[in-house]
Chain A
């Protein structure tokens, strides 16, 4: 199998979401759950505020027992500083049409109009209802069967949506009214702690009227010394305007943010990760050039949260996903269209 990248353009009626973004677990993992992971990820990013919501099903093996799929919900909010929770559940239910995942009192539903997310985590004092709506003719980015260590992962993303609704966390009510958002969906069979790392980011314009959005990704080895693949995607409204891959892309980190994470989730993992050390850069610069155009993205982190995942290969190692918020500037030209705009971004760096 090889990794492939493509985009899916919707017909006039945007049934593209349920027909492509449906849950894979019942098809791919019910009979053989070992190593399988799947998650739907939603990210609201407006100036000064980020909301990250993640519904996942991941294979877990306890002792000598058989592997089983364990549902989790992650909710992390940055509003001045990062805070949030990870909740694990015993069971989940996937609807027959593979478009609804119900976990406890929470659920994520995919329909032609978008994604409906209901959060009900009373033990964490988190409640909310959000609707993520793509453009009139959404197109999806897809990356199939990319190697991650000895495993493979597939990735499908909607670069730009609008979010409406409300979310209550830590006693604070967040109201969303057409806020810019991003969505992705990942699934595959691999093991946390295997020889891989990744960085990906979503950059959205500060001005909602600005039609540009950018998504980038880089896969590396675990030590992040060897780049295995990288790509940068540029969207203009709902249309993929340019895709730069591998040698057409250059990513450079410089400096260190020099700020400890605002929070570590699950909280007890702070004990094993320490509280101060961080390799979050002060700046991340991505340049891309091809016959289609040129682009420069400068992302400047301002804070970060850590999500920790126990290694599946070593009993005393952890995988850390740093969720980094910051500001961005995107400059360049695609075809005959030039742009130079400030933006907001969230970058995720996985290492360990």
Chain B
């Protein structure tokens, strides 16, 4: 069974934190207080900041100890195949959004911040040599069309 994308994202952030700490801090600053809800082929998780970056499994906004845990400012829905197509440069990010292969919902300011966070993550990931190995895990669970 393929490793969940949320788990891969969590592991990649651990690598970035240790191997490219300046880029990790830049990513943390860029995300700021925003919580990004992500749906990859029905797998739901969220990315949030604070003292450090955290990947939360499941739908955000749930009740934890009687309080709302987090509320996503933006919601991003895409497939594992679409992620790979963008990372392999077969599909441009703008084209992916325009054609609906990546769906983004949220206030404009939050959508812009989500975009900036993605770019900051890409800058960080290319500086962490352990991250590319996770691509094989990501590919392992890809079967559909982008």
Q: Give the residues in chain B near A264, CB-CB below 8 Å.
A: 89
A31 to chain B, nearest CB (A): 23
CB <8 Å contact, A310 and B19: no
Q: Mark interface residues in A309-327 (1 if CB within 8 Å of B CB, else 0).
A: 0100001111000000000
CB <8 Å contact, B26 and A270: no
CB <8 Å contact, A268 and B129: no
Decide if A104 is an interface residue (CB 8 Å cutoff): no
Decide if B127 is an interface residue (CB 8 Å cutoff): yes
Decide if B126 is an interface residue (CB 8 Å cutoff): yes
CB <8 Å contact, B126 and A88: no
CB <8 Å contact, B23 and A62: no
Decide if B122 is an interface residue (CB 8 Å cutoff): yes
CB <8 Å contact, A63 and B19: yes
With contacts defined as CB atoms under 8 Å apart, how many contacts are there between chain A and chain B in the complex? 65
Decide if B120 is an interface residue (CB 8 Å cutoff): yes
CB <8 Å contact, B87 and A310: no
Looking across the interface, which residue of chain A has its beta carbon closest to that of B127? A310
Decide if B119 is an interface residue (CB 8 Å cutoff): yes
Given contacts A267-B87, A267-B89, whether A315 and B123 have CB atoms under 8 Å apart is yes
Q: Give the residues in chain B near A225, CB-CB below 8 Å.
A: none
Decide if A275 is an interface residue (CB 8 Å cutoff): yes
Looking across the interface, which residue of chain B has its beta carbon closest to that of A64? B21
Decide if B81 is an interface residue (CB 8 Å cutoff): no
CB <8 Å contact, A271 and B86: yes
CB <8 Å contact, B123 and A318: yes
Q: Give the residues in chain A near B95, CB-CB below 8 Å.
A: 275
Decide if A263 is an interface residue (CB 8 Å cutoff): yes
Secondary structure dominating the interface of B:
helix
CB <8 Å contact, B127 and A315: yes
CB <8 Å contact, A267 and B88: yes
Q: Which of A60, A275, A316, A318 has the most CB of B within 10 A?
A: A316
Q: Give the residues in chain B near A269, CB-CB below 8 Å.
A: 122, 126
Given contacts A63-B19, A272-B122, whether A316 and B26 have CB atoms under 8 Å apart is yes
CB <8 Å contact, B120 and A316: yes
B132 to chain A, nearest CB (A): 8
Question: Measured between alpha carbons, how far is A268 from B87 in the docked complex, in Å?
Answer: 5
Partner of B22 from A60, A275, A315 at Cβ < 8 Å: A315
Question: Measured between alpha carbons, how far is A275 from B85 in the docked complex, in Å?
Answer: 14
Q: Give the residues in chain B near A266, CB-CB below 8 Å.
A: 126
Q: Give the residues in chain B near A64, CB-CB below 8 Å.
A: 21
Question: Measured between alpha carbons, how far is A167 from B28 in the docked complex, in Å?
Answer: 44
Question: Measured between alpha carbons, how far is A60 from B89 in the docked complex, in Å?
Answer: 25
CB <8 Å contact, A63 and B120: no
CB <8 Å contact, B18 and A63: yes
**Interface members, chain A 226-271 (any B CB < 8 Å):** 263-264, 266-271
CB <8 Å contact, B124 and A315: yes
Decide if B20 is an interface residue (CB 8 Å cutoff): yes
CB <8 Å contact, B119 and A275: no
Partner of A268 from B25, B94, B120, B125 at Cβ < 8 Å: B125
Given contacts A62-B18, A62-B129, whether A316 and B123 have CB atoms under 8 Å apart is yes
A308 to chain B, nearest CB (A): 8
Q: Mark interface residues in B104-142 (1 if CB within 8 Å of A CB, else 0).
A: 000000000000001110111111110010000000000
A46 to chain B, nearest CB (A): 27
Question: Measured between alpha carbons, how far is A310 from B129 in the docked complex, in Å?
Answer: 12
A residues contacting B by CB (< 8 A) are 60, 62-64, 70, 88, 263-264, 266-272, 274-275, 308, 310, 315-318
Q: Can you list 26 A-B pairs with a CB-CB distance of less than 8 A?
A: A62-B18, A62-B129, A63-B19, A63-B21, A88-B132, A264-B89, A266-B126, A268-B88, A268-B125, A270-B89, A271-B86, A271-B89, A272-B119, A272-B123, A275-B95, A310-B126, A315-B22, A315-B25, A315-B26, A315-B123, A315-B124, A315-B127, A316-B119, A316-B123, A317-B123, A318-B123
The 5 closest A-B pairs by CB, nearest first: A267-B89, A270-B89, A315-B23, A275-B92, A315-B26
List 5 additional contacts besides A267-B87, A268-B87, A270-B92; criterion CB under 8 Å.
Answer: A63-B20, A70-B129, A268-B126, A269-B122, A315-B25
